[in-house]
Amino acid sequence: MTGNKTARDWDGAVALRRAGMPVARIALETAIPATSLGRYFKQHGVVPDLTGQIQQATRAKLQAGPVAGGSAAEIVEDASNRAVALVSNHLKLAARGRALLERLFDDLEQGMLCRAEIEADIEADTQDDKAATRRTRMQRAVALPGHAGTLNELTTVLAKLVNVERQALSVDEPREQNPYAGLTQAQLHERVRALLEDNALGDA
């Protein structure tokens, strides 16, 4: 099935793997089956050995210039270019989100400062209503609990945006994910039991 693949196809797959791309993604990029890729990489000792250099090059490229020539450096150059484009896009989206948040904060502040006037306008606008449903709904929208809830949501979004910006600029290193975060309580207990048994066998 892969016999018609050229040396260039395999070289491209090797470059992607050395750059850290998952085998399944390489299969989509190159149209070479993942099983064939896995066998080829194992047979030729192909491992993602350039990911550290790519991360360093990406950080350097955001601040300075390009990477020097060479086969390994070319792979690093290509992958870091992709990463820089991705980071730049993240920063643009974060900037748009920050601008929207600033306008929402301004609207919220204005609503809080003018709440008495707004409530008076609501009274005037709904004084002829037979039922109080519309008035109650409008008053609830401008009440302090409503403002507090909105402020809490805006603050949460702002914190996430700040985190995106700091990670995109490598101000903070991404935190390692907890490998046990997705386990249920029963699975955690089973995992602890297995570890204890392993330790007991090791001490025997």
Where helices occur in 31-70 by DSSP H, the ranges are: 34-44, 51-63
Residue 8 has pLDDT above 80, yes or no: no
Q: How far apart are CA 196 and CA 194, in angstroms?
A: 5
Residue type, 181: A
- Predicted local confidence at residue 1, as pLDDT: 42
Query: Sorting pLDDT into bands at 50, 70 and 90, what band is 125?
Result: confident
pLDDT in tens, 137-191: 877 777 756 666 666 777 777 777 767 666 665 555 555 555 556 666 666 666 6
Highest mean pLDDT among 32-41, 72-81, 116-125, 184-193: 32-41
pTM above 0.75, yes or no: no
* Nearest residue to 75 (alpha-carbon basis) of 21, 16, 11: 16
Q: How far apart are CA 4 and CA 15, in angstroms?
A: 19
Angstrom CA distances, 168 to 64, 86, 90, 95, stand at 15, 9, 7, 12
**Residues 6+ away with beta carbon under 8 Å from 144:** none
pLDDT in tens, 70-83: 567 776 777 777 77
- Predicted local confidence at residue 2, as pLDDT: 47
